Amino acid sequence: MNIKHQKTKQILDLFEEISAIPRCSKHEEKICAFLLAWAGKHGLEAMKDKVGNVLIKVSATPGYERSGAVVIQGHMDMVCEKTADSSHDFAKDPIRFVYDGDWLKADHTTLGADNGIALAMAMVLALDEKAVHPPLELLFTVDEETGLTGANALQGDFIQGKILLNVDSEDEGVFTVGCAGGRDTHISLPLQYENAPDGFVMARLKAGGMTGGHSGVNINEERANAIRVLVRALMQIKKDSDLRLADIAGGTAHNAIPRDAWADIFIPRDSFKSIEKAVANLEETFRREFKKTDPDLKLSVELQPETMGKRPLNVADSAKICDLIIALPHGVAAMSTEMKGLVETSNNLANVKIANSKMEIVTSQRSSVMSRLHALTWRIEAIARLAGAQAVSGNGYPSWQPNLQSPLLARCKDVYRKLFGREPHVEAIHAGLECGIIGDKKEGMDMISFGPTLKNPHSPDEKIHVESIGKIWDFLVELLKSLK
């Protein structure tokens, strides 16, 4: 691809270097070591806190020594998702870049531009001899994607700056000034097994090919949830045939809409043909329902030549699992009455699996209104208890309430308008950002979030608009220049 913007090429070259380093959530050790070594190589002061957050300090350029420090912030970890046919090993394989017209994506995996592009941009800025700026604090946090662990553990005195530029938004020309809070709930249901009745065989029911996506950004698009599709099929089969569940799994990350799910079921051998036909009909039904959002949706059932040592659950527990999953909410629960078009409250039915004779389910709730976040969480906990399951919810993280009178926002709008000749869009988002947590820890922090255009984060369809990287660079440089 012919990249005209010189800094864009530099940023992407460094991003590719970053993308060769394993950095799935909760496994940031190698990227942390890389950043510290990079800082040492270039004579920059760097430090790591007890959870692995990295801070790199960059001295002010001449004339800006008396200016207050500016924090440029992004997160080190990435959501590690891949297509069902990919052999990629996130623990050792580099992310393979694929240029497609004006876009950069990865080869059947997530790209990790969420949020590796922020790291690369900040690092290029730190070494740029032409850019002028106040003292900079490059703050790179761990485990943003699975619980904002790094931001939650951050000590207030780790950073000194009172201006925070979060480079983790996904639309160039849009300034984010607020975000949703969130809580996860873990549900556990003890299970009982029994021997399969005579004449029963095991089959695998699979639901796949769904679009998936970010459980905050894409939740309002009514994309199919593979777990829900799978369980709807199980409910229909169970209605017309004897069925015993043996195993079930679906979903990966708490903040990704599940794309694939499967279940091993024991059924009477002589009913397989009718079940196969029913599944084919259901596939047609689901493909009609989700033709706009999930055109590649697939549903299939296949006899298994061996049971792989599996035994079925008893009839009661097989039914209880299906009832519990179908009863749990998924999708938008309420729209905001304050900001038109903004999802206020939602839930993602994120992950199901059987482990150690227990059904394990993870749900992820979001809301910009904390009281409604708690109410939705209580509802999910109540559904779990009614099924005889245990539900444990985390403390979660706070929402970031918009401050439309922010001096930083006014400055950003002015710089953007002068640079590009148009008005930027200002919004709050339904996704979670670290700004709310960091702002709680650092009183008086003025914050804004922006970033290059990114589509389909948290899925193998993730891609970044290359031209937008240069525009964000130009904006960032001009904004810092104005902060004298």
> Could you tell me the residue ranges of all domains in the chain?
6-180+399-481, 183-393
Report the C-alpha gap between 64 and 392 in whole angstroms: 50
Report the C-alpha gap between 124 and 14 in whole angstroms: 8
Averaged confidence pLDDT in the chain: 96
Nearest Cα neighbor of 65 from 127, 136, 134, 163 is 134
Residues marked active site are found at 77, 144
The percentage of the chain sitting over the pLDDT mark of 70, rounded to a whole number, equals 100
Q: What is the mean pLDDT of residues 237-244?
A: 93
Q: Ramachandran region of residue 189, left (φ > 0), alpha (ψ -120 to 50) or beta?
A: beta
* Class (C level, CATH) for 6-180+399-481: alpha beta
Q: How many CB atoms lie within 10 A of CB 407?
A: 10
pLDDT tens-digit readout, 426-477: 999 998 899 989 998 888 999 999 999 999 998 899 999 999 999 999 999 9
pLDDT tens-digit readout, 330-384: 999 999 998 889 999 999 999 999 999 999 999 999 999 999 999 999 999 999 9
Q: How many CB atoms lie within 10 A of CB 388?
A: 12
pLDDT tens-digit readout, 132-184: 999 999 999 999 988 789 999 999 899 999 999 999 999 999 999 999 999 99
Taking each helix axis from N to C terminus, what angle separates 113-127 and 6-18, rounded to the nearest 10 degrees?
120
pLDDT exceeds cutoff 80 at 1: no
Nearest Cα neighbor of 344 from 364, 363, 367 is 367
Q: What is the mean pLDDT of residues 59-77?
A: 97
Report the C-alpha gap between 114 and 479 in whole angstroms: 22
Q: What CATH number does domain 183-393 carry, 3.30.70.360, 3.40.50.2300, 3.40.50.300, 3.40.1280.10?
A: 3.30.70.360
